[in-house]
Amino acid sequence: MKNVILIVLITLFTSNGVWSQTKQYEVYALKFASSAHPWPIADWVDKGPKNDSVQIDFMIWLIKGNGRNILVDVGFLNDIPNAKEFAIVNYVRPDSTLQKLGLKPADITDVILSHPHWDHIDGLDLFPNAQVWMQQDDFYYYVGAAWQKGGSAGGFNKRDVRKLIDRNLAGKLTLVNGDSQEIIPGIKVFTGSRHTFNSQYVLVETGTNKVILASDNIWVYYSLEHMQPAAAGGTYDPAGYVNAMQRMKTLVTNPRYIIPGHDGKVFSNFPVVKEGVVKID
């Protein structure tokens, strides 16, 4: 009889308690824009081939479960001047893509910012209810030293700096202090790639797989497949970028579940849920 009671208690605990909390997430990639033409891989990967090309898409990622709807990055608004060089087509405002999964912008509980480049942060105000998670060192550089003499503000937009400062003033920004931090049960962030001053990538426990949302810590699959860093301007630390990719492979059981930030193949590699939406499964 004692054994039966013990089994029942364990079942209840694992189905409703702490053990199950890390095993209920679903992960989706949502495309909201594309570049009008393929790009040479050499533009995205150091020493990559000039004659081979890659379709560049713009996406955000939804982590759904445990009472939360979490976005990794928030995309951009189409009026931002930085977008002109990419000849953007098929643009849909990032918050509108959520409708395909039955969600509204107000349903987003958290936003994890991988880094503050314009195409990943400009849509922040679309999700006013969300608590924002960002690496502390990346934040301080972004709002401060990047704009000082000798700083590097490439890929940043001043209007986005103001958005982030406003979110901080509203008490809706949590600064993450460093590598390998579990910020939400079942969700950890890691650093090392230095795509920006201290960019982060996200590891999600889904119950069946561990998924890494690399964002621009891997621009395209070619980098991961050949262990080559981003092209010039894509990282402060090329060796660190490669080391981070090697580490990512140790964190998942299958490199299929390492998702780059801009490679259009993401949307053919996984099951289609709706047009422009795939489930990372």
**Is residue 11, in this structure, part of any structural domain at all?**
no
Nearest to 116 by CA among 82, 65, 91, 86: 82
Q: What is the pLDDT of residues 186-238, one digit of tens each?
A: 999 999 999 999 999 999 999 899 999 999 999 999 999 999 999 999 999 99
Residue from 78, 133, 114 nearest 195 by CA: 114
* Residue 14 resides in a domain: no
What does the DSSP assignment read for 33-66? EEESS-EEGGGTBTT--SS-EE-BEEEEEEEEET
Asked, for residue 72, whether it belongs to a domain, the answer is yes
Domain membership of residue 13 (yes or no) is: no
pLDDT reading at 5 higher than 70: no
> How many domains does the chain fold into?
1
Residue that is written with structure tokens 């993401």 in the block? 266
Residues 142-154: tens digit of each pLDDT: 999 999 999 999 9
Per-residue model confidence as pLDDT tens digits over 53-111: 999 999 999 999 999 999 999 999 999 999 998 999 999 999 999 999 999 999 999 99
Residue 49, domain member (yes or no):
yes
Report pLDDT for 8. 42
The phi, psi pair for 13, rounded to 5°, reads: -65, -45
Average pLDDT over residues 42-55: 98
Question: Is 19 a domain residue?
Answer: no
Domain limits for position 106: 25-279
* CATH number of the structural domain spanning residue 204: 3.60.15.10
Instruction: Look up the pTM and report it.
Output: 0.92
Is residue 2 situated within a structural domain? no
Between 31 and 10, whose confidence is greater? 31
Six-digit token string for 78: 């189409």
Question: Which residues lie below 8 Å from residue 4, measured CB to CB, with a gap of 6+?
Answer: none
Q: Is the pLDDT of residue 2 over 80?
A: no
* Nearest residue to 231 via CA among 85, 54, 48, 44: 44
* Alpha carbon distance 213, 30 (integer Å): 12
Q: Please check the confidence at residue 22 and state whether its pLDDT lies above 60.
A: no
Evaluate whether residue 6 is within a structural domain: no
